[in-house]
Amino acid sequence: MRCALLYKGPPRSYNAQSRSRFQDRLRKDSKRLVFPPEPMRSPSLYSKVFYFHRGKRDIDADNISKPVLDALRGVAFIDDAQVCWRLSAKVDVSRPYTVRQNDIAAEAYAELIESLGDETAMDLLYVEVSHLQVQDVSLGREPEWNVTPRSPDTSMN
Asked if residue 33 lies in contact with residue 1, where contact means CB atoms within 8 angstroms, the answer is no
Per-residue model confidence (pLDDT) at position 145: 47
- Single out the residue of 90, 8, 108, 77 nearest to residue 49, CA to CA: 90
Q: Where are the domains of the chain?
A: 2-131
On whether the pTM is more than 0.85, the answer is no
Q: State in words which class domain 2-131 has.
A: alpha beta
Distance between alpha carbon 8 and the CA centroid of its chain, in Å? 11
Q: pLDDT tens across 49-84, in order?
A: 999 999 889 888 888 999 999 999 998 999 999 999
Other residues' Cβ atoms within 10 Å of the Cβ of residue 12: 22
Mean per-residue pLDDT, 26-50: 89
